[in-house]
Amino acid sequence: MTDASATAKSSDAKFSRVLLKISGEALMGEGQYGIDIETVGRIAREIKDAKELGVDIGLVIGGGNIFRGVSPAARGMERASADYMGMLATVMNALAVQNALESIGLYTRVLSAIEMTAICEPYIRRRALRHIEKGRVVIFAAGTGNPFFTTDTAAALRAAEMGCDALLKGTQVDGVYSADPKLDPKAERFDKLSYHEVLSRDLKVMDQAAISLTRESGIPILVFPIGRAGGIVGALTGKGPSTLISDN
C-alpha cells in the first residue's frame, strides 16, 4: 500500500485507536460450543481490513463459548473458581484469534492479566502501549485477572488504559434494542443513547461497571453486528449499522 492510499483510507475512519470487544459466542459460528475456525478466520480478515484504515486495535475476547463463570455449567461451584476458569477460556480464544491474524500477515501480541509466560506475555500497561505504537494488534486475555469482573469491564478498563478513542462491542444484532429483537418483534432500535439512558433503562448492553468506566473516561461505545460482513469497518467509518452510546 502506498503512503497516499494509506492516507486516503485512514481518512475514512472516525477513530484512530479502538478497543474491540468480541464475545466468545461470536467465535462459535453455527455451532453450540467451542471455536469455529472459519468464523475466526472471517473475523480476522475483518480486523485486517480495519487495520488497513490506519486504526490501532486492541482486542478483548470473552470465553462464553468454552466456559462462563455465571453459566449453568458453573452452578454449585465457588464463584471465584468458576470465574478463573472463565478467564482461562479467554486465553484459549485469544490464542486462536492470534493464530488467525498472524496467518494473514498481521503482527500480534497476547497479553494476559494472569501470568503464563510459556504461552503469552504478562499484561504490563507500558509494554502494551509500545506494542500498539508499533502497529501490532494487542489481544488482552484473562479479563482483569480478578474474579467477579466481566470481560466487558476488562474491555472498558483496557480501552481507558490504552487511550482509545472508542470501544467497539460486537453483538449478534445490528445495534441496541429496547428488548431482544429475536424474542420481541416490537423491540425499538436505538441509533444513539446516553450512558445514563443505558443504565436507567437497564438495556444490558454491557455491565454497569463497564458503562460507568467508559462514561468516566469519556470513551464512546459503538455496538455493531459482528456477524455481518464488513461490520467492523462499517462501525469505524459510520457507513454500517451501529448504535452510539455517548454523552456528546
* pLDDT class of 70 with cuts at 50, 70, 90: low
- Of 61, 57, 128, the closest CA to residue 90 belongs to 61
Residues 182-208 pLDDT 10s: 899 899 999 999 999 999 999 989 999
Distance CA 174, CA 44 (A): 20
Does the pLDDT of residue 7 top 60, yes or no?
no
pTM, full prediction: 0.91
Q: Domain limits of the chain? A: 3-245
Given a contact cutoff of 8 angstroms between Cβ atoms, the answer to whether 145 and 115 are in contact is no
The pLDDT of 98-114, averaged and rounded, is: 98
Greatest pairwise CA separation for the chain in angstroms: 59
Strands 221-225 and 243-245: antiparallel
SS3 content of the chain, % helix, strand, coil (to 5): 40, 20, 45
Integer angstrom CA distances of residue 100 from 15, 142, 166:
24, 19, 24
Q: Tally the C-alpha atoms within 13 A of residue 182's C-alpha that lie toward its C-beta.
A: 5
CATH architecture entry for 3-245: 3-Layer(aba) Sandwich (3.40)
Higher pLDDT, 4 or 190: 190
Q: Please report, rounded to a whole number, the percentage of residues in the chain having pLDDT higher than 70.
A: 93
pLDDT at 131: 98
Number of H helices and E strands in the chain, helices first, is: 8, 11
